[in-house]
Structure formats: structure tokens, C-alpha cells
Amino acid sequence: MRRVLTGITTTGTPHLGNYVGAIRPAIAASRRDGVESFFFLADYHALIKASDPDRIARSTLEIAASWLALGLDPKRVHFYRQSDIPEIPELTWLLTCVTAKGLLNRAHAYKAAVDQNLAAGEDADAGITAGLYQYPVLMAADILLFRAHEVPVGRDQVQHIEIARDIAQRFNHLYGAEHFVLPEASVEEHVAVLPGLDGRKMSKSYDNTIPLWLDAKALRKAVLGIVTNSQGPGEPKDPDDSHLFQIYRAFATPEETQAMREAYAAGIAWGEAKERLSALIDRELAAPRERYQALVANPREIELTLEEGAARVRQIARPFIRELRRAVGLRALGQVGSTGAAAVAAPKPAGGKRAAFKTFRERDGRFHFRLVDADGESLAVSVGFASPAEARAAQDALLATPAEQRRRDAIIGAPCAGGVRVELMLAADRPVAFSDALPDADAARACFERIEAALAEIATAAAP
């Protein structure tokens, strides 16, 4: 599966230009086969641009509701809020520690702010926060944490993807493994750019937008305010020179577009053209508008959706962060080895918690054991055995198997209901224990390393 990641900054409310140029094509792309899509609300990023907490909170609600109302399927994609993933700021720091300051000095947003200060006769860094300066590192963490292959961006954001690649390469080089996938920027050359009320690109900066969720009456009023030329009814008009026609084309079928071209040639009045445009936009947005209003009125539903999304992506993020912590040396003090990938833990003090096997009996009368780590988290559950003695013998056999043979015989990423899993084997054809369902092969590999670390800890504790 090719992973595609899209961040949505939570400032402001979407307008028609956002919908046509970004939201609609992104949702359509998320339905492609062979793609695993990640959509996140970039509320940490929003703190760089806005300091009004109520605005941030309200925008998060409105933008989440907008994407869901317009058809983003949270069961098909990963839809989550950036601030619900604590692994993102942790990875930001790990990346910060390998990022060259000179790389950040060259970032466009920072350079533009410095140039503006110098032009005004101010100190170069006047009013520039560390958040703005560090923005590219946070963005790199967003992307690299989930090993995204592709990041759709506008041309002004391509540099940030290049910075993320540079940081990833530096980390991989320093810590001796291909920890990170190198992401690629995906620039859509033919993104629809919708003109605004005055004919310029629709943008909040120009104050010429048509908000996405106006009711039918307010929408009609806004469309009637679109600036046109002085040609009257009956005069032939050039559709290719009309920003009103450009907006119409963004919502019309090919047949409707051709019919409107003919109407322009026949001298349609601007008022009638605007009435047709208003009706066309309302046709497409009326049903999503109802869903949007229902969602905004019930924020708890959105909250639950985001919490479920966060839980899913943290299944990917947690094991990867554990891998990265070991790689940089943030390990339990008893662990040895250059990467910690198959670390051996020394016996813990009396009374301390450690990895263990937990034997239990199922309702069918058969005995199973569970392998848990020092925190009590389940890593694998065994097949059933006829007696506790047989379960214990299987545990002993698993521990007695050399680590290299366990690694060679294990099936890492075996398909199962809900994803993939790790299968531990006693010899190549005898499964003995299984992990829970995991989202992908990367998570399975990380889970296997944790299983190996737990087995090593148990074996070391049991040694004379």
C-alpha cells in the first residue's frame, strides 16, 4: 500500500475555493485502490499562525465537520487530530537534534519574515517565534512518523518536503539503518483555482471568498455579488474571459458546461447566468450542508471519530517510536547492543516488574499462555494446550530456541482478520503463539522486536 498523507491547518472556515481546489480532489483520491490515506487536523501548526484559543477550537470543529460532511470516510482512511498523537512532538525533538540550523535558515517562511523585518528597518528576528522557525521540523515529524510515501502539496510547500527528506536521510545515516521512508512531494499541475468575487484567486487574503456553508439564500446573494463586465442581455459573451463561467465549470457536468457556453454565445444576461450558477452550487452542496449542520450541532460525534482515528494511528506510531528511541540510545539501563533491536534486559531488582508468561484457561478447557512485557502489555497469545504442563513445556521450548532461529522461523506480517500479525514458531511448521492484528508490516516488525526483547528478559532472569 502506498501511503499518502495530507495535513489540514485548523485556522479559518473553508470556502468554495478550498473545496474545489483541495477538499474535493483529496477525498476522491482517498478512494483509490492501493492507497492508504492519512488526513490530520494540524492544530499544532495552527498555533504558529493564530493565538486566539477560541478561534483554534472553533476552526477545528468546523474543518473536521466539513471534511466528514463532504464524504471523507473515517473507516477507509486515517482521520485524526495532530495534538492527539504524543509521538509527533517526541519525534519532532528527535529530529530537531539531527537537523542543521542552516537548513532551517533557508526555509522560505522564515526567510520571508526576516526579509520583511530588514526592509522595515527592524532586527532580523523581530517578532519571529521559534515555532515559525521550527515549523519544517514539525512538518517532517508529521510525515516521517507514518512513513508516508507521498504528500500532496502546493508548489509553495515543496521545500518542506525536501527538508523532511534531508532530515530523514541525516537520521538514517547517523543511526545506521533505513528507519525513515523518504517522502515525495506530489504537486498537482492542474489544480482548479477558483476565482473570487472580484476575479482574482479566491483567497481570504483578498477578502473575496464565498464561504462553503452558506444557506441557499445567502449563497444566492453572494453569487449575485460577483463582478462582471458591462455587456448587456443579448450581447454575445466570451466564456473563456469570464470568471463567472470558470466557477460554473467547476460545478457543472460536461453537458451543462457546453450548454452554458452556447448560452454565453447567445447573449445570456449576467443576472440569469448568476442565478444558474447559484442553483448549480446549491445542488452540489445542499445535502452535505445538512450533514455539516448536524455534525456541528453534535461535536461529540466528531470527537469520537477523531479519538478512534487517533487510536488507530497510534498503533502504528507507538512501536515505531519505541524503535527510534532504542536507535538513539533512549533505552532501559539493562539493555545492551548498538541498536537495541534485540536487546537483552538484565534481571530487575526483587519486586520489580519484568516481562513474563501468564498462563490461563479458556472456556473450552484448553490452556494458553500470554507473553506480556514489563508494563503488562500483551505481545502474543499461544495456541491451546491440553494441560498447564504442556503450556509450560512450550514456553520452555520457545525460550530454549536460539534467538537467530526464532527470527528465522517467525512469520512477521502474516495476513489475518483486521490486518497482519506475528506468528511465533517451534520449528518451521509448528505455530505456537500469535500477536494481535496489526495495521501493517512495519508494525509487525516492531512488534516482533518487542517480543524478542521480552523473551530475552525472561531468559536472562531465569538463568542461574
392-447, pLDDT tens digit by residue? Answer: 888 988 888 888 788 888 889 888 877 889 989 886 567 899 998 888 888 888 99
Question: Is the pLDDT reported for residue 189 higher than 80?
Answer: no
Mean pLDDT of 39-61: 92
- CB-based burial, 382-415: b 16+ in 10 Å, e otherwise: beebeeeeebeebbeebeebeeeebeebbbbbee
Nearest to 237 by CA among 272, 209, 192: 272
Lowest-confidence range among 138-152, 180-194, 358-372? 180-194
Q: What pLDDT does residue 349 have?
A: 43
Please give the model's pTM, rounded to 2 decimal places.
0.71
Question: Is the pLDDT reported for residue 237 higher than 50?
Answer: yes
165, 147 Cβ separation under 8 angstroms: no
CA distance 70 to 266: 35
CA–chain centroid gap for 277, Å, is 35
Mean pLDDT of 198-207: 89
Distances in Å between the Cα of 148 and the Cα atoms of 6, 140, 368 are 10, 10, 38
According to DSSP, the residues that pair with 81 across neighbouring strands are 41
410, 425 Cβ separation under 8 angstroms: yes
Q: What pLDDT does residue 190 have?
A: 60
Interior angle at CA 450, CA 336 and CA 463, nearest 5: 55
| Structural element, H or E, at residue 3 | strand 2-9
State what percent of residues in the chain have pLDDT above 90: 67
pLDDT tens-digit series, residues 75-134: 999 999 999 999 999 999 999 999 999 999 999 999 999 999 999 999 999 999 999 999
Distances in Å between the Cα of 452 and the Cα atoms of 314, 339, 398 are 21, 13, 11
CA distance 301 to 64: 11
Question: Is the pLDDT reported for residue 340 higher than 50?
Answer: no
Domains in the chain, start-ordered, CATH in brackets? 2-193+298-320 (3.40.50.620), 213-295 (1.10.240.10), 343-462 (2.30.29.80)
pLDDT tens-digit series, residues 144-183: 999 999 998 877 789 999 999 999 999 999 998 889 999 9
Q: What DSSP string runs through 259-289?
A: HHHHHHHTT--HHHHHHHHHHHHHHHHHHHH
Task: Give the confidence band of 347 by pLDDT, cuts at 50, 70, 90.
Answer: very low
